[in-house]
Amino acid sequence: MATAHSLFASSLRPRRQLLSKPFLFLPIPLHSRLALISGRNLGNRARVYAKKGFRGRGVSPSSAVAVDSSTAAAAAAAAEPEAKVEKERVVLPTNDSSEKLLRIRHTCAHVMAMAVQKLFPDAKVTIGPWIENGFYYDFDMEPLADRDLKRIKKEMERIINRNLPLIREEVSRDEAEKRISTINEPYKMEILESIREEPITIYHIGNEWWDLCAGPHVVSTGYINKKAVELESVAGAYWRGDEKNKMLQRIYGTAWETEEQLEAYLHFKEEAKRRDHRRLGQDLDLFSIQDDAGGGLVFWHPKGAIVRHIIEDSWKSMHIKRGYDLLYTPHVARSDLWKISGHLDFYRENMYNQMEIEEELYQLRPMNCPFHVLVYKRKLHSYRDFPIRVAELGTVYRYELSGSLHGLFRVRGFTQDDAHIFCLEDQIKDEIRGVLDLTEEILLQFGFDKYEVNLSTRPEKAVGSIDIWEKATTALRDALDDKGWEYQIDEGGGAFYGPKIDLKIEDALGRKWQCSTVQVDFNLPQRFDITYVDSNAEKKQPIMIHRAVLGSLERFFGVLIEHYAGDFPLWLSPIQARILPVTDTQLEYCNEVAIRLKENNIRAEVCHGERLPKLIRNGEKQKIPVMAVVGPKEVEMRSVTVRSRFGVEAGTMKLDDFISRITDAIKHRSSF
């Protein structure tokens, strides 16, 4: 019988999944990928994608460990295709960076509407804006099928080929009403009623079709590259976004300046689909949303729960080290509390209905802030007590329309990594800087080192004096300057209760996700009348700072899944090592290995019942970082034969050495 090592080697030659046209960054280690696609390398909003790539994921240089010359040769052979990767890249412009692109997309929406009404004369048009990656248009018409999109696209190409001019016309309101009545377009009439400015502007495509529009557009349809336009999907959309109104047919399209940009965008979509956390959550058995329990309510399965446990433990440890006190507060409270906080006045549509308990009304909490204020109010504070920092992983409940729910990204119950700091005016800057340092420390450990930062200032309607607003805003700005982070000013974009800093993290695809926020609050201290005694024995109102680093644990977990494509680093992986017997006769020793690993805080499991090649393939599909094969030789030598997640064999090693190696890799958060 062949030894386990020879079986392992023959069945585990590096396998590569073939994507039709994968991105350049797929086989590159995560830190390199982040550097490659960082928007800041090519302007704040630019994304970089490969024009052409190669198969699947290869050997990570940081994880390949050669234990003998044959293994080193195998690793080199597996890595060889990387040297042949074509380096040409395509920079995808945005509507903000390219006015030409914005004009193309806006014109494409009109061309599509014209094409639809040529093919479906009874269709009524509504609105058709440009959006982040293209355009859409809503129609009141019979439901469309995918085959209809092909017909519409062909008609659009005919219109583009005719090079029809886009003609701007100004008319009076009466004239606009007359024309709309003539063509019987009720939605246009409703749109006209909402337009306050005069004259009314109309854009014509040739002399065949027109729409109410403020522009801008290209000069003529011939300026559109028909090979850089694609119709993507059809969806239902309520008129004006109100579920009480009629359901419309929304056609989504994408448009770019060149074919290469379209190709890069389609690659991006393909990769985003591969990383979709909803599919990976099911495939990897991480979480689910059960219809029997209701939409938007997340069930964390054992593997997902262990990742959450790691996140929470790390979060708590870092906060305790930085002087935060941990809290646990109730999930419900008397409705009077939400009246005091103002949530019932300003946030009612996002809150669940009240429940009656012993003739009193109670409310599920939509936020944690009022509870933390109550903890502060439990006793009288002196100015010497400040700063006071409290933190909680608090679950909140918010009503969301069923149509807006989206995996882990939009749910009805979620846990916020919430914290509040009570401090004096002259402590704001230092406390904000401390929050920024903590934010960076937490995000870096999960592989996020590219951020988009915004500082939002006082809106027209605000509580608190202008003087305190200026002091707080200056403190936020100074903290950002001290930190050395680039940021943009959002004039007037602050909350009514105070200025704020918002931070978006950039994932492996260059997408931005809103996670961290720091907000100064002048409202709740006033509403709850919280005070402290100053050095003159007078009562004063402290400054309250809201802050979250991860935001929602559910949403952050979804971002993590997509960032890593479910292929978590060793230290974070739900299962760090899987032990595979060649035959069931090695099961007893495999179980001993698993016990030893668990005793050393290594998350391990034994998997058997199939032939070894299938066990290995299953481990790869489940993205297990390390697999250890055990055959008769390994039992005899008290050893294991090890393969890393990238298909690289680390060879046969004694069990104690294996435990030492994997423990060290986990400790240093490196690959095995």
Catalytic residues: 369, 398, 416, 418, 420, 500, 546
Closest CA to 381 of 614, 146, 540: 540
Closest CA to 646 of 69, 61, 85, 70: 61
User: What tokens were used for 284?
Assistant: 């990897």
User: What tokens were used for 497?
Assistant: 């209760």
Task: Print burial letters for 531-568: b (CB count within 10 Å at least 16), e (below 16).
Answer: bbeeeeeeeeebbbbbbbbbbbbbbbbbbbbbbbbbbb
Q: Token pair 């294996």 is at which residue? A: 658
What span, in angstroms and rounded, lies between the C-alpha atoms of 101 and 132? 11
What span, in angstroms and rounded, lies between the C-alpha atoms of 499 and 518? 9
User: Residue 264: which region, alpha, beta or left (left: phi > 0; alpha: psi -120 to 50)?
Assistant: alpha
CB atoms within 10 A of CB 11: 17
Strand partners for 204: 167, 210
The sign of the dihedral angle between the CA atoms of 20, 81, 29, 283 is positive
Quick check: 138 and 144 in contact, CB under 8 A?
no
Helix (H, G, I), strand (E, B) or coil at 635: helix
What span, in angstroms and rounded, lies between the C-alpha atoms of 459 and 542? 22
User: What tokens were used for 230?
Assistant: 């694609």
Amino acid at position 616, single letter: I
Quick check: 571 and 516 in contact, CB under 8 A?
no
Alpha carbons within 13 angstroms on the beta-carbon side of residue 10 total 7
Between vectors from CA 45 to CA 39 and to CA 49, what angle results, nearest 5°?
Answer: 50
What span, in angstroms and rounded, lies between the C-alpha atoms of 149 and 153? 6
User: What tokens were used for 200?
Assistant: 């009314």
Backbone angles phi, psi at 465, to 5 degrees: -75, 155
DSSP assignment of 346-399 equals HSGGGSPPPEEETTEEEEE-S-SHHHHHHHHTTS--BGGG--EEEEEEEEEE--
Cis preceding linkage at 387, omega within 30: yes
Helix (H, G, I), strand (E, B) or coil at 629: strand
What span, in angstroms and rounded, lies between the C-alpha atoms of 44 and 49? 15
User: What tokens were used for 593?
Assistant: 């290995």
Backbone angles phi, psi at 392, to 5 degrees: -155, 140
Quick check: 297 and 128 in contact, CB under 8 A?
no
Helices (H), 162-275: 173-183, 186-194, 259-274
Backbone angles phi, psi at 253, to 5 degrees: -135, 165
Quick check: 619 and 607 in contact, CB under 8 A?
yes
The set of residues, in sequence order, having a beta carbon less than 8 Å from that of 542 and lying 6+ positions away, is 381, 386, 422, 423, 424, 525, 530, 531, 532
